[in-house]
Every structure is written in structure tokens, then in C-alpha cells.
Amino acid sequence: MSSDKPNVVCHHCGLPATGAAACEGVVAGGLQRFCCSGCLEVCRVIHDSGLDSFYTRLRTQENTLAPPPDAPSDLDQYDLEEVQHEFVSQLPDGRRSAHLLVEGIHCAACVWLIEKALNNLPGVTRAEVNLARQRLLLEWQPQQVALSAVLRRLAALGYAAVPFDPEVAEGQVQRSNRRLLFRMGFAGFGAMNMMWISIALYAGTFSGIEAEYKQFFHWVGFAIATPVLFYSGGPFLTSGWRGLMLRHLTMDLPIAIGALTTYLYSLWRTLHGGGEVYFDVVTTFIFVILVGRYLEAMARRNAASAALHLMELQPRTALRLDASGQEERIAVRKLAAGDHVLVRPGDKIPADGRVIAGDSHVNEAMLTGESQPLHKTLQARVSAGTVNGEGVLKIQVEQAGSDTVLARIIHLVEVAQGSKARVQRLADRIVPWFVVVTLLLAAATFLFWMRFDFDTALMASTAVLIITCPCALGMSTPMSIVVSTGVAARAGVLIRNGEALEGLSRITHVVFDKTGTLTEGNMRVSRIQVCDTTLDEAQLLTLAGGLERHFTHPLARAIAQEAESRGLHFPAAEQLRAYGGLGVCGTIDGEPLWLGNARLLAQAGVAIPEEIHALRQQVESSMGVAVMLAGRGRVLGAICLEDQLRDGARVLLDSLRAQGMGITILTGDSSRAALHLQQQLGEMRVAAELLPEDKAREIEALQHQGECVLMLGDGVNDAPALARADVSIAMESGTDVSMECSDVVLMGSDLRKLPYAIEIGRQALRTIRQNLLLSLAYNVILIPVAMAAWVTPVLAAIAMPLSSLLVIGNAILIRQRMRRFAETQKVG
């Protein structure tokens, strides 16, 4: 693929790449980059050898994973359709959506500044920043504003953004932390040297020191403090100044004012040769603040490690088999649907697919949370990232790259960790006023103490500027969401967003769809009854399979699979139509056929023979279902199918009842089958013979009674009810429709993950409230203490990051609490 775009440059050497090809090497920032002719061959070698990830890490170590420069020639690349294709989503209404990694976000005021500036930009319809993940969710109208214009606006605010990519994000974080570490080390070196100067001056105060030596030490202190202030403290100064110029105040402004005021006053004292200087205060509190920010960065990274853990599951290379059966080791990204790969014992499976040869056990604990390896034989499905056991497997690839289950899980976790909960609105309303209040309090403190002593006024007002910080308040909610969704993902519970997490904590009533949730959903044909003398069992099953093979309902899959297992060939069916909760109809060889329950046949005007009616009663009394095939104005036969309750279904319902929750089961089956289910599972409300719209109305009725409803389902018929529920949960084995409509997805078949999901929602909301209380208590207690001149600027610098670390530490405790809960519930 060649490019003749005039603004495209080679992302290796920076030279114009006009007429060159798309890069076949490293994909940076989730984008397809371009190479000049000189770099293209090197990239092909790297790409073909599977060394992409090594090259990416090497680039990270060499500090070249920088955000895009401010030069228009580089930012314009993000407007190219071929570039946006890699990281931009098209929304149904024509808008576009992208997740961006933003460098330079470190406090709640930064979040407010970015959101306010971008949301005021014409064409931007949504801009949400997650402080814990340094992520920006951007939605915009491409006809009104270009993506490059948004990036330029961010650059003008002092923030650099790149399209989010997990590997690049990790490199970006490492580079940012390394740069912060260098500044912190330089400030620490300066603070240690200033300590010797301070000791000399302090000792001279008591033992006597000549004025010229005292002045000399002042100038030495100035020489040490100056580079510390402008190098280590440079980000505070530039951020504060840029905020003033843009009329948007950030939390770096109070720190910058405090540092500059103390530094300039000390310099003035040094120039005039008298009084006390505070160069040691400047260097020490800059060092302490940088230590706090570094610890915050490490804690945030630790709290948000779930996505990184999932990324590590994806193997980098695969053994592909060519047409002659020869093995070829290639990069995983080169795999495509239809490829055959060989997986040796102990290797990770590189893509989703089916076993076409071999026999082994596969450990899927990293995806489903279930500890027991699963036996995989011919035609069994396998997932990328799972670990092969003792045998050799030959797999046909069905989904690779971003289409695999693992990739979708990583995407869900990343989106969830970047989302906001409703409770965060309180913090978002407070933060914009925080800087203004801080400056007013510092000014009031200075004016009050100025009447008594200038030095005291300076130190007290500086302490107020430093100690007042909304960072803990801003991180209270996002840190809890990041940790909770990460812990849930490791247990096989995928939570889509912060609002779902918050909703789980308020659940009072749980609604189940029967098939595929409380039952295994693996329907099996147990009996075939033929009523038409012109047909036999095989012919009846062939006709039914022809009608059902294109549908995904458990009954449809069971009938089609039974026909396939008998080696039957499906006839061509036309004019197919599905009736939710009833069955299907269509024509085969020009003859109209109906396949479904008694209500469908009643609509078709077909009478049910007594023998079929008796068969239905017998099957439904044992949790089975009879599906009838009708044509030529009469019933041609019936197919009986059976299902089984999932292990632990009764234990789950007993546990929910013990918590005081209401339980309702919705099913399209007959009242007789529902009664049998109720006898097996205990006291609860059962609604039978429901159509999809009836299920949604049942949910609505419960909500009108004041219940907060959780719905658990897995089929197409559940989609309306899932969409109507306060919180919806789908089983991973369900259909794509039900999973798209759900707020939470349970991987695997362990029903104990349901109370685990509810508990993690409760833990998250409890932790958010605790964090909000901690952050507010910190400011309520320590601001008056600083205004009373009981705290020095150095102690204020120590206290400021402690509030953020307390919030982060409390959020991380969710892991320990959920580990104990999982042990008691035997989850995973």
C-alpha cells in the first residue's frame, strides 16, 4: 500500500515518505505508520522475523516513544482515513470515537481543564478523562472538527496525546516515570547538599558566624536551589504559567507560586545581605513533592495492572503449517482465519479456533477464572492466550488479532477502567473551585500573619499553597473503578463501565432467564416422534434442521447438531422467519413449514394430536421441551429435547435468598415445566410462557415496585429484558446480541461468579465513599493547621501526597477483600 500524501513522514528517520509504502514493522500508537524507501526493507525483516515486540521495547528504552510533536506536518497524519482506521470507531449517528493516551495528567484539575477545553471545542460531543489511567475518551463530528485540531488544542494546553495502544501505553508510562525519577534524583541531590549548608548556618546562629561567611553560604544555597527549581520544579512552573495564559488554573499553580515566592524572597535577602533565606525549603519541598508523585505513579500502575496481565497472556509468535505441512514460525499478527497452527505441550494458543487434530487438556483459568483444565478433542473450540497441556494440538484459526476473545476482554477492561461512575460527579463539581479557594486562603493567611512577622506570613501562606490538593478527591472514584474492574476481570467477570459497577451495589432483585443460565443450555435431542406415515425420523429431523440451522437459539443449535451428527444433509430453506418465544417458519421445496411450540401452531391454525399432547406433558414434567413440526395443515411430528440444571444453581439461589434478595425466573416454557423447575430450586417467583416483550414488561413491573433489578440471560430472546434491567449480565456462552446488551459478562459457566460480581460492586461503592471521606477530611483538618502556621512548607509537601497514597492504598485493598470473599465462596 503506497502513500502519496504530502504530509506523511517516515516514522523512523523523520524524512518525507512521499511515494513510500506502509510500514511493515512496528505499529506505534495503534497506528499504521509509513516508511521511506531506505527504512522499508529493514522493517520487512523485523516484521517477518516476529521481532516486532522486541523492537517496540527497544524503542521504548531509547526514549523514542514520545507523543507526536506539535508540528502540523506530523499531527495531520491523524486525519488520514488509513491511519484512523486503526484506532477510531464509527458510531451509528456518524460521529467518531477514539481512546487517547494523554501525557502530563497528574491531578484532578488537569482532568477538569482538558474536559472543559475540549467540550467547548465546536464539533467535540464528548471528552471524558480518567485520571487513574491518563486516558481520554473522545467523540467528535468529523464534518465539524478534525482530529488533528483536537490534538493541537491539547498541545496548546500542555498535554501530548497519542491513540491508545496497550503496549505503547506501557512504554509511555515507563518513559514518563523515568523522566520523573531523573528530576526527583536531581532534587534529592540538591536537597542533601543544601542540608550541609543549612547545618552550617544553623550552627553559626548559636556559635557565631562572620557575615562574609554567612553571605557566602547564602550564595552557595542560591547556586544549588536555582537548578533544582528550574529543572526539577520546571514542570510545575511551565504548567502553572500555561494555565495562567489560558485562564485555566491547575494545581501546579499553587506549587509554582509557593516555590517562586520563597525562592525570590530568599534571593532578595541574599542580594541585600541580611536576614534569613529559605533556599533549603525550596529544594526540600520540591524533592518531597516529586517523591510523592513518583509513589503515586507507581501505585496507580500497580492498581491498574489487570490489563497488563492480560496482555502478557498473548503469545508473540506461532507455528503456522503451510500447504505441505511444513512448520513456519511467524508473528501472531500475521495469522489469518483459515490458517493451520501447531501448538506444542506447554505453549500458549495463539488465536481462537477449532481443534482439527490432536487431544489435550487446556488451562483456561486466565480467561474464565476456572481452575480445572478442560479436555479438548476434535472440533473443540480453543481461545487465544490459554495454555496447552500434555498433548499436541493442530488448530484451524477462526479469529486472530483484535477479533479474539482475549483481545475483546482486554478492550472491555480498558474501556471499563477508563469510564466514570455517577458518584464521581460530586468530585467533578468541586475540583474547578479548588485552585481559586486555595489562592484565596493563602492570600488571607499571608495578610493575617503579615501583621506580626513577614517570614511567618511567607512560610504559612506557602504551606497553605502546598498542602491544599484535590488530587485525592479526583482519584477517589477512578482508582476504585480501575482496581475493581481489574480484579473482576481476573476472576472471569467482565464489567463494561463504572455505572454498571455502581449499579451492582444497589441490586435488590435478581431475574434469571432459565435456559442457558440456571440450566446448562446444552439441549440434547432425546426422542423423535413421527406422526406422518410419509416421513421417517431422519426425514423429519432433516426438515427441522433445515429450518433451524441459521439460528442461534439453544433449541435450534441442538436440532441442527443432531442432524449433523447423523450425517444428514440440510435442504435449502427459504422465507425463514423467527417468532420470539414461539419458534420459526419457512418453506422447503415450496412447502410452508412451522417448527415451534403449541402457541405457534395455534397461530398457524394447526391442531395438535392427542398423542403429541400427551408426549408434551410427559417431557415438560421433567424439564424437557417438545418442539413440533407442522406442514400440510397438520402436525408431522415432534422432537423432544432435554436440558439439565447447572451445578450450583440451587446453592446460588439459596445464597441470594439469604441476602434478602428477591428472585424471579422468566421462561418461554410451559407452566408445567416452570412448576417442575420451582420444585427443584425452592421458593421463588416463576413467570412462564413469556415472549421477549413480556420479559421486558416483567422487568419494568418490578422496577415500578421500587426494585433495583439485575437480569441474567444468554439468548436473543433476552435482549429486550437485558436492555430494560438496571444491571444486565450475560453468560459468555450466550449470543452476541445478549452480550452486546449486557453491562457485565460472566466468562465460563460458574454461577458463583454472580454473587462475586454483586459483592465487588458493593466493595467498589463502599471504597469510593471511604475515599471521598478521606480526601475531604484531609483538607478540612490540615488546611486550618497550615493557616495557623503550625506546618512548615516541607511538612506540607510530605502531607500532600500522603492523601493520594491513602486513597490509592484503600482502593488496592479491594483485591484483598475480594480474595477473601472468593475463598469463602470457592470462586475460581
In sequence order, the 6+-apart residues with CB closer than 8 A to the CB of 635 are 531, 601, 606, 607, 608, 609, 612, 628, 629
Measured distance CA(408)–CA(406) in Å, rounded: 5
Cα(673)–Cα(663) distance, rounded to whole angstroms? 18
Active site residue 403: no
Q: Which DSSP letter does residue 577 get?
A: E
Residue 150 cell numbers, joined: 483536537
What is the C-alpha to C-alpha distance for residues 748 and 152, in angstroms, rounded to an integer?
45
d(CA 107, CA 472): 8
Give the C-alpha distances (Å, rounded to integers) separating 367 from 111, 383, 395.
33, 9, 19
For 106, 251, 253, 465, 476, the CA distances from 296, given in Å and listed in that order, are: 9, 16, 19, 20, 13
Would you say 329 and 48 are in contact if contact means Cβ atoms under 8 Å apart? Answer: no
275: cell is: 536576614
Match 436492555 to its residue by C-alpha cell.
723
C-alpha 578/C-alpha 245 separation (Å) is 63
Catalytic-role residue among 513, 643, 718, 750: 513
CA contacts within 13 A on the Cβ side of 814: 32
Please list, in sequence order, all residues whose beta carbon lies within 8 angstroms of the beta carbon of residue 358, skipping any fewer than 6 positions away: 391, 392, 393, 394
Query: Which residue type does 19 have?
Result: G
* H or E element, residue 628: strand 624-631
E runs forming strands in 327-406: 327-331, 340-343, 352-358, 360-363, 374-376, 381-382, 387-388, 393-399
Rounded CA-CA distance 518/257 in Å is: 62
Cα dihedral sign, 722-728-731-735: positive
- Residue 397 pairs in a beta bridge with 353
The secondary structure of residue 759, as a DSSP letter, is H
Residue 595, phi then psi, degrees to nearest 5: -135, 115
Determine the angle formed by the axes of helices 234-245 and 252-272, rounding to 10 degrees.
Answer: 110
Catalytic center residues:
513
